[in-house]
Each structure stands twice: as structure tokens, then as C-alpha cells.
Structure 1
Amino acid sequence: MSKENLKKIFSEYSIKVENRAENFSESINRSPLNKVRTELSDLAKNHALIQEQGISQFEMPTGAGKTEAGLRYGVNNIINFNKGRLIYMAPFLSIVEQSAQSIKNVVGEEFCLEHHSNVVNDESESNYEKVQDETVLDKQLYMPLSYVTDYWDSAIIVTTMVQFYDTLFGGKSATICRFCKLIDSTIIIDEVQSLPVNHIYCFNLMLNFLSKIMNANILLCSATQPPFDDDTRLDYPIILAEKKRVIPSNEELKEQGKDLIDYGVFERSRVFPAWIQSESNEDMELEDVLDLLSEQMESVNSALCILNTKGAVKALFEKVKEKFPKAKIFYLTTNLCAAHRLDRIEEIREILKSIRKSPTYKQEKLICITTSLIEAGVDVDFDVVLRSVTGADSIEQARGRCNREGLLPNGGKVFILRLKEDNTNVKGLKDIYERGEITTDFVNRQIEEGQKPLNMRQLTEKFYQKYFLENSGEMVFKISIKERGKGDFRGNALELLSTSDSKIQALGNSDCQIEFKNKHMLWQSFRTASLHMKLINQETKSLIVPYRNEEKLNKLIRAIDSYDFAKVKKLIKRLQRYTVNVYDEEEIISCCSFADEELGIYILRSENYDMNSGIKTGSDAFIF
């Protein structure tokens, strides 16, 4: 897509975005909360009109309307500086799905690509590198796969952290084609603190490269910014722009003679640690969670319970159904495809709205049991939230689903749960376990200091200090390789992409090293680094599931059978919300009604997809 075409598209988007902002500003039901949301959106637009490239911090409280403010920023930034594409990236599928829907609601679907699952698995391109015969290689490169792989030619790309990271560091042709689309772009990175610690240095350096060399304008979004720019503690910090804050602080606004932002409107709920309710101060069983839920449901009409694993969600869901036979009970995990989850979330929203409109309405109560997929980027408004202990930043996100619109006269309540190991099995999930332990430690310190409810701003800042800055030595991705005939290599990704000293030393004696240096102009080990730098260690497959899409599935199969790959590509885009990511196991493939291994397209049998709990097989093979 040419720059002229992009300019025309974003000119049309600008009209739609500004009309949306104006209508929201002039709304008759303009609450103090919506007034502040409008003020924040206006400040974001102001920054978009003065910064062409650089890295800035986009800090807005949960529930402040960050997605639409970010869209407004991106469109105005691109129009004002005649930039290229708008790239929106988030760490979790749930945020990507919700944000993509919000963006499409404003600008339409035609030039907005939602790219989060490799329905077509371009990983098979790595096999090309093993082929030495050029005739065979040429034949492979022009296989049907190359016609249906997506190369990010749309005006707006909404994608996941995994896809974005692969685009930055992957060595396949698809990722290289996507990488060039980042030139002169506006990039919005949501929930940037979710990046795994051992990838931070390479990520920081690449963002600096994108802004300084590729003229990208990058926004780092978070309710509380992680200290990735701390040049006193980090060896490779992010280099922020001169005007580093998209939303100026109240001190800056005061100096400029502008109205201050009333952040008090976002204090809509209080947070309590549930484990101090017990005299023995022991970790909780699921029965204890049920008791707490029962106690709270006596005075409220809706509750959200977020647990760390699918197993815990399923176990609690079954118990809640028995305990509350007259209530509406909802189950949400990534075992449901995106379209299914979005339908279910919309149903939840409608029930919550009816409850809010009739506060004395007691006949129906709603309880949602879910994994973390609902805690960020999902516009729902519950009376009470229960959250399994994890990072303080995630608890703050979950808090944003409690009394979101500030309509409860006494505010909402959030309870942090600490479940026994056998109920959550999180020790196998290292990151969740470590985050939970750090948060628990700082929560207990606040309890000892008599802080009740908890001070979440202080808790999050302390958590970041401990989790990130005290782990700065772990911010480089370590790589260990055994190569036959070439010696063992133990180093890290940063070294492979710069001096490659350890890789050269692994070649053997000094004569071998000198020969290598004389033979090669570039010493970096790009291929080795790209093969090992993965955000997710275990590869997954995207299965297309049967959920109200029978006609689309039949069209896809017919298009594949007739070798109409242009139509296949179009249908794959439409079916992306009907996919579930699973670990690459033979048992999963055996549950498919259709499988094209050449294209990497797999369709699940209808009997293996349950309308209540989603995908099901004999294997516990699903990603968390």
C-alpha cells in the first residue's frame, strides 16, 4: 500500500475519530469520570501534534479510555507528520481482541488487520534453511504457503506481543517483510510491563533503533510505568524523547497555567488481602473462596473472580454452579475462541447494565469465573472482584473491572486471594509464581504498617522496583547451544547480535577464529539468535474451531481444494477470531475434521468443541 493511499485512508479515519471524540465530549450524560476521560484524550492529541518520532510514556489510569485515546493519538500523529502505519500491540489475546473491536467500531474493518494467531504457520519457512539444492529451494519458496502469509500491508495492524517480537527478531521472510512496515510508523505498545524480564534489554535496544533510525514514534502504555528508562540501574535503558510524558503531570499543567486533572475520580474501589480474614493466616482453599463469595453476594449483585490457571477456573466454576443455583454463572478461558468469548462478554455486559439501571433488582445475580483474559482492555463493571495473587500491576488491572463507572455509592471492593498450591499449580508457571511471591511480601508489609485498604500506587511501585530493577542482571536472554563439530556455545542474544565473541570462541583454537574473522565481514550470528529468541518457549498451533461459522469453514475448504489462495487468505483473516492456540501435539491434530499440513490449517471436529467450556480433548494441552 502506497504512502498516498495510506494518507487518504488516515484522512478519512481522522474525521471519524474526531467526530467520535466530539460526540463523547458533548454527551448529555457526561459524568465527572467522562469529563476527565475527555480531558486526557485532548492532552494525548496535543502530544501527537508535536512529536514526529521518539519514545514516550503514555500513562493513564485503568478505565480512563486508553484504547480510544491511543487511536486518536495515532491517527492525528500520522496525519500531522505524513507517517506510515499505525501498529497497536498488546501482550494478551483478550486485550488485542477487545482493542481491535473498539478500533473497528470507530474506523471500520476494511483497512484494519487483526493479527494474533498463526492460522497459517509460517514457522515451516525455517525448513527452507536446511535445503542446499537451489532448485528445490526455489520450489519450496513458491509453495502455497507464501501466498496466504500476511505481511502487514494494512493501514492499522492490531497484534500481540509475540507477533511483534517475532517481527523484530525473527529471521523468516514473513517477519522480515513485516519489519519493513514499521518504518516511519506510529507504534502503541499496551501493558509494556508484561514483557518477560529476560527479553527487556534486547527489546529496549530495538525500540531505540526503531525510533532513532526508522523514524518511528512509540508510545509505552501502562497505568503505572515500569522503570525501563532507568539509566542508573540498567545497562541498556530505553531512551525517552524530550517530551517523554504524553499526559503531562499536574505539576507541569500548573506551570503551563492549564486546568489540573482530577485523578480522584478513578479511585472507585478499595483493595483488601483476603488471607488476613483468617485468624490462622493460612492460604485459602476453594471452599474459603466460596465462603468469601457468598458473604459478598449477600450485599451485591455481581462478582468477578480471576484465577491464575484454567484448572483452578474450571474447579471453582463447578463449585460456584452448585453453590449459587439461581445465579447466572459464566466461565471464561482461552479454551473458548475469541468470537465465543466476545459474545459471552457482551452478554455479561448487558446483564451488568440491567443490574446497574435497577439497583434494587434482586432476582438475578451474576458471577463470572475467569482467567486473567478479562482483567485488561475489557469494559465490564462488577460490584466485587476477587483476584488470585500475582503481580501488583495485574491486580491494579483487575481493579479496573470493579465499579468501573463509579456508580456504587460506597465504592467497590477488590479482594486478593492466596490459594493453596494444589488448587492453582502455579509453581510450574515461574513468572506468575515469582510475581505473586513479591506482591505477597509487600502486601504483608503494608498490613504490618496498618494500611488497610492497601495503597495500590505504592504497592505497584515497590513491585516494579523489586521485580525489574533488582533483576537487571537477568534482562539479557541467555542461549546455550551444542553444535556438532563446532563446539559448545554459552552466551546471550545481545552478544550474538553484536560482537558474537562467545560464538567465535566456540569455533575452537585461535587459527579457526582468525580464519572465520578473515572470511566474514559481519560477525553477528543473526540466524542463531532468531532461532532461539522466543517469547513463548513451546510452539503452539492455531486450530480453527466450529462456532457459528459453518458457512465460512465450508468456503475455506472449497477454496483450498480449488487452489484459490487469494480467497484462502481472505477467509483466514475472517476466521482468525474462531481460533484457539494449543500446544503442537499429535493428539490435537487427530481431533481435527480437516487438516492441511502444507498450509498449516487445522479445523477441529464439532464434537471436540463444547459451547460452555470450549475446546476439549483427552490431553491437558492448552496454553495458559
Structure 2
Amino acid sequence: MYAAWWGLADSILLFDEIQSLPLCHTYLFNTAVNFLASVLGCTVVLCTATQPELDRVKYPLHYAEPMDIVPDFALRFNQFRRTNIVPVCPDGGFTASALADFVLNKQNENRSILVILNTRAAVDKVFSSLKESSPPDTTLYCLTTHLCVQHRQDVIDTIKGRLADKTDTGRIICVSTQLIEAGVDLSFDCVVRSMAGLPSVAQAAGRCNRHGEAACRPVYLVETELKLENLDNLPDLREGRLATQRLLRKLPLNADLLAPDSIRAYYRLYFQEHAQTDRMGDPAVIDGVERDLFDLLIVNRHAVLAYTERTKNAAPSLLLPRQAFGTAEKNFHALEDITTPVLVPYGESGKKLVGSLLTAKYITAEQLRQAQPYAVGVTKQEYRRLEQYGALLPAAGGTVTVLQETNYDADKGVQTTPGPLSFLEI
């Protein structure tokens, strides 16, 4: 471990899209970067258009002086402006059908429109509403993680080709989750973004007028009804949305939401929440007790207390090792992966691969490589529902699970309701 750390000495480290750092890893990240910079002599560069104020938390990041590589970055924000954020907050928020009507109304001024929502369920509902009411000359596209990687890439390539084709006069609406907000080079005439944290709003704005096709284009920041987008199980998204809502109430009308001052104000609102502070140290339930991984690696209060109670001795010196490295490593997850991969029969290649695996006794390394673009991660609840409908089949001797073709929609990908010819009905 020490060799790995010292191998980074005097390096230049670039962390791109640092605003995407999970809140729970804030203290661990700050402490590690401070060590890399101050002890190992590294130069650490945080790249983002929405710099989080990591120096304003309990265990802060120690920025260099001057902090910014570009001294006049505020001026650059104005020079590179391509969009205008327009909040639209009707009483009670948009329903799926009302939001669909709002989007269709915007087609009068925009050939291509991107709609970004916070959940797959919301995307499904709004996409279905648009399908019922969109005019014949409008093509609808859907992008969520219910589509396999190959399917998503094919949709993105199709949209990119149509947006670049000056002879194509057909209208385009794409409804997506936030997966489209980073690493996707698409430029729409208009973006409609459901209420979210300001960094996500900035990322969404980056998909509008991306190449400066016009002087300025609108990005509508819309409020949806709570029933449409339930974020109770997505605390980072929920708290980000609440911080943006509070910021909108504080800022004057027509204020620039993406100006550096607005971004700083957003992070102060976002970080000041007590619940947020409690989550910055990577909380985890260990042996039925809620612990803090950051504490396990610093002073390990729980173990020290147990030691003093059991031995009746004073707490050991801070100079003595007390960290629970093994326990922390076992319970640390860079990303919470709570899904199970299911292989889907998308396209001719996907169908051929699924067919071969259904009759195979095991999966080869080459087949495993070929299967990766055709895998979709489903939640435990979705997996149980698909099992109930008989939509999942064991393949390759039970080493992989494949989805029936009737449960993979050509537009929306994995469907957790019974297909028209599912085994349940045969």
C-alpha cells in the first residue's frame, strides 16, 4: 500500500468532473488529496465548470494560492455563454401529460428538444405521454439505463447524425435520464431539465447550443410534481434539488443561475444541511451498527470506547495505530452497485449471442466480452418482478441470465410488465 502511495510522488493528477464526487466520499477524498499534495508533492487539478466548495466542510480541502489556474475565469463564463436558464415552476409542478404538452409547445421555435428527468420511471411516463400526442413529423427517442450499452450508443449515433444533417427537417425529441449529461457530444436547439442540483443543470445546459449554432438558446428548468419524480431513495439528487429550489427563492428574478457567484451560493446551501454533513464521512452499517468509514480510518472512536470499557484502561495514545483498515476496506464502495446484470436480445448480434448462450453449458471468455454491450443492470425489485412474469431464463449452465425478447422494448429497453407472448401466458 505504501509503495502505491509513494509511486504517485511528484505526479500531476487531474480529477475531471469533480462535481460528480459522491457526497459520502467528501472527507475521504479531501484528506487523501491533502496528503498527496502536502506530503508527496503532487500537483492536483480539479476540473469542472461548477467547482464545489470543498474548503468549506468540516474536513476541508487545502487549496493552493492562487486557487484558480485561470485568473479571470468569471469573464470567460460570459464569453462562452451559449444558453439561458429559464425556471418554470407551476403550482404543484408538471404532471407527465402537462410536461409533454409543454415540450410539444416548444416545437414551434425548436426543431430538436432534449428532455432530461431525474428517474427512469419519470422518463417512461413522459415518453409515453409524448408518444400519444406528438405530431407525425416528430421522432421520439428514449435514453435510460434500461437500454443496453449498444442500444444507447445506437440511439446517440442516430440522433447525432440527424442533428448534423442540414437536409433533415424532421423534428426530434429525446427523453433521457441524466446519463446524457456527461461525455455525450450532442447539441439540441432546446433543453428541458427537471429541477435538480445546479451542477446537473449546468451539465444539461452543455447539451444545448453546444457548438454555438445560435447566439443563445433556452434551457427550461421545470418543476415536476412529487408523484412524477420520487427521490426519497436518491438522497444526493433530492438534496441537490432542494438546494436549487432554495437558491431560486433567494436570487432576484432573471439572475444568472450559472454565474460563478450563483454556483458558490448553491454549494453553501447544499453543504450546510446537517443531514449532508453526517453523510460526508461515508456512513455504513457494520454488524448492525451505523459506523463512519472516515472515523474508522482516523481515530476509530467506537473501537477505542469498546477498548476502554473492556480493559478499564485509558484510551491508547493517538500515536499508536488504531485504524480499522480491513473493516473500512471491506465496507467501502466507490459506487453503490445495487443492480444485477441481465443479458438482453437487442439487435441481430444480441439475439444471436443470447441464442447461443441458451444452449451452451458454460460461457467462454470471448462470449463474456461480446456480452458486455448487451447487459442491463436491473434492481432487486425489478429482477423479482421479471422472475414472477417468467421473463428471465438461465443460460450458459446458469452462469448468466437472459431476458425474453418480449420484455425488451425497441424504444424503452427492459420492461418489467408481462410481454405479449411471455411464458406466463403460454
Do Structure 1 and Structure 2 share a fold, with TM-score over 0.5? yes
Q: 1:616 aligns with which of 405, 411, 415?
A: 415
Q: Alpha-carbon deviation of 1:274? A: 1.2
Q: Distance in 2 between matches of 1:380 and 1:320?
A: 21
Q: Which residue of 2 aligns with 1:250?
A: 72
* 1:477–1:492 Cα contact (<8 Å) kept: yes
Q: Which residue of 2 aligns with 1:458?
A: 261
Q: Distance in 2 between matches of 1:542 and 1:385?
A: 31
Unaligned runs of 5+ in 2: 419-426
Q: Which residue of 2 aligns with 1:500?
A: 300
SS of residue matched to 2:227: helix
* 2:360–2:397 Cα contact (<8 Å) kept: no
Compared CA separation, residues 606 and 295, structure 1 to 2 (3 A): closer
Q: Which residue of 2 aligns with 1:266?
A: 80
Q: Alpha-carbon deviation of 1:296? A: 1.3
Q: Distance in 2 between matches of 1:264 and 1:388?
A: 24
SS of residue matched to 2:232: helix
Q: Alpha-carbon deviation of 1:347? A: 0.4
Q: Which residue of 2 aligns with 1:531?
A: 330
Q: Which residue of 2 aligns with 1:239?
A: 62
Q: Alpha-carbon deviation of 1:210? A: 4.3
Q: Alpha-carbon deviation of 1:477? A: 2.5
Compared CA separation, residues 523 and 415, structure 1 to 2 (3 A): same
Q: What is the correspondence of 1:483-562 to structure 2 with a 5 Å cutoff?
A: 491-506=291-306, 509-511=309-311, 522-534=321-333, 539-548=338-347, 549-550=349-350, 561=362
Q: What is the correspondence of 1:38-49 to structure 2 with a 5 Å cutoff?
A: none
Q: Which residue of 1 aligns with 2:50?
A: 224
Q: Alpha-carbon deviation of 1:302? A: 0.9
Q: Distance in 2 between matches of 1:554 and 1:375?
A: 34
SS of residue matched to 1:406: coil
Matched, 1:399 2:222: no
Q: Alpha-carbon deviation of 1:306? A: 0.6
Q: Distance in 2 between matches of 1:392 and 1:236?
A: 23
* 1:272–1:453 Cα contact (<8 Å) kept: no
The code of the aligned residue for 2:179 comes to L
Q: Alpha-carbon deviation of 1:443? A: 1.4
Q: Distance in 1 between matches of 2:373 and 2:259?
A: 34
Compared CA separation, residues 602 and 461, structure 1 to 2 (3 A): same
Q: Deviations for 1:150-173, whole angstroms, at most 9, x for unmatched residues?
A: xxxxxxxxxxxxxxxxxxxxxxxx
The code of the aligned residue for 1:270 comes to N
Matched, 1:284 2:94: yes
Compared CA separation, residues 575 and 490, structure 1 to 2 (3 A): closer
Q: Distance in 1 between matches of 2:357 and 2:43?
A: 38
Q: Which residue of 2 aligns with 1:477?
A: 282
Q: Distance in 2 between matches of 1:340 and 1:214?
A: 44
Q: 1:375 aligns with which of 181, 198, 201?
A: 181
Q: Alpha-carbon deviation of 1:450? A: 3.1
Q: Which residue of 2 aligns with 1:594?
A: 395
Compared CA separation, residues 473 and 574, structure 1 to 2 (3 A): same
The code of the aligned residue for 2:21 comes to L
Q: Alpha-carbon deviation of 1:261? A: 7.8
* 2:93–2:225 Cα contact (<8 Å) kept: yes
SS of residue matched to 2:298: coil
Q: Normalising by structure 2, what TM-score?
A: 0.81
Q: What is the correspondence of 1:166-205 to structure 2 with a 5 Å cutoff?
A: 183=8, 187-205=13-31
SS of residue matched to 1:415: strand
Q: Distance in 2 between matches of 1:188 and 1:556?
A: 41
* 1:593–1:604 Cα contact (<8 Å) kept: no
Q: Distance in 1 between matches of 2:333 and 2:43?
A: 25
Q: Deviations for 1:310-337, whole angstroms, at most 9, x for unmatched residues?
A: 1111111111112113101001101011
Q: Deviations for 1:352-394, whole angstroms, at most 9, x for unmatched residues?
A: 112xx35xx6x51100111111122211111111100010111
* Alignment coverage as a number of residue pairs: 405
Q: Distance in 2 between matches of 1:262 and 1:200?
A: 28
Q: Normalising by structure 1, what TM-score?
A: 0.57
The code of the aligned residue for 1:238 comes to L
Compared CA separation, residues 227 and 454, structure 1 to 2 (3 A): closer
Q: What percentage of aligned pairs have identical amino acids?
A: 29
Matched, 1:385 2:191: yes
Q: Which residue of 2 aligns with 1:322?
A: 132
Q: Alpha-carbon deviation of 1:294? A: 2.5
Compared CA separation, residues 290 and 617, structure 1 to 2 (3 A): closer
* 2:85–2:218 Cα contact (<8 Å) kept: yes
Which is further off, 291-300 or 584-593? 584-593
Give the aligned CA root-mean-square deviation in angstroms: 3.7
* 1:340–1:547 Cα contact (<8 Å) kept: yes
SS of residue matched to 2:124: helix
Unaligned runs of 5+ in 1: 1-175, 252-259, 484-488, 620-624
Matched, 1:344 2:132: no
Q: Distance in 2 between matches of 1:543 and 1:206?
A: 36
Q: Which residue of 2 aligns with 1:66?
A: none
* 1:272–1:452 Cα contact (<8 Å) kept: no
* 1:284–1:420 Cα contact (<8 Å) kept: yes
Q: Distance in 1 between matches of 2:39 and 2:345?
A: 45
Q: What is the correspondence of 1:80-99 to structure 2 with a 5 Å cutoff?
A: none
The code of the aligned residue for 1:384 comes to C
Compared CA separation, residues 557 and 317, structure 1 to 2 (3 A): closer
Q: Deviations for 1:385-441, whole angstroms, at most 9, x for unmatched residues?
A: 1100010111111111111111125x2111111111111122343222221122112
